Amino acid sequence: MILPVVAYGHPVLKKKALNVDPTYPDLKQFISDLWETMYEADGVGLAAPQVNRSIRMFAIDASAFAKDHPEVDGFKQLFINAGIYEEEGEEWIFNEGCLSFPGMREDIPRKPMIRIRWFDEEFQPHDQKFDGILARIIQHEYDHIEGILMVDRINSLKRVLLNRRLNDISKGNVDTSYKMIFPLQKKRKK
């Protein structure tokens, strides 16, 4: 089932998400819905808070970057209860987009190398180092489960300049090809 993506301004996006255990209600179905929603929206990644579930889970399929970054070809992974415990290197800027910010792209600084622990969908533990574009994609989705948004990573002056666009996103004054929940959209009368 395709789930609506929540837009900037929705309170779930600013909450630190809670851990999930194997008894989470309808877990397998939710995981399937998360993947289906991500693909329907042409996303590279999608975190549970973006579909209005404040749980520590995100999905990534980096194949969209394979042409320019052949090392990510075939990388598809679900991360449950992830924790980044190391970040290294000099920050580098990359132009990022986000399904919760339709039509918006911004230059975001991030470290080039991370180490992360997580569980897969079978609740098998993993601990791995990632670098380059994979580290960046993971950091972006990881931020969502920490209640951090991409606009939180840009300087305050630039953020002030984006206020009007951010308000438009919250109100639903944007075009999207996928279902969304806009926190400030006025209810239509029947």
Active site residues: 141
25 Ramachandran zone, left/alpha/beta (phi>0; psi -120 to 50): beta
Q: State the Cα torsion 154-5-31-71 to the nearest 10°.
A: -40
Cβ atoms of 96 and 140 closer than 8 Å:
yes
What count of Cα atoms within 13 Å lies in the side-chain half-sphere of residue 183? 17
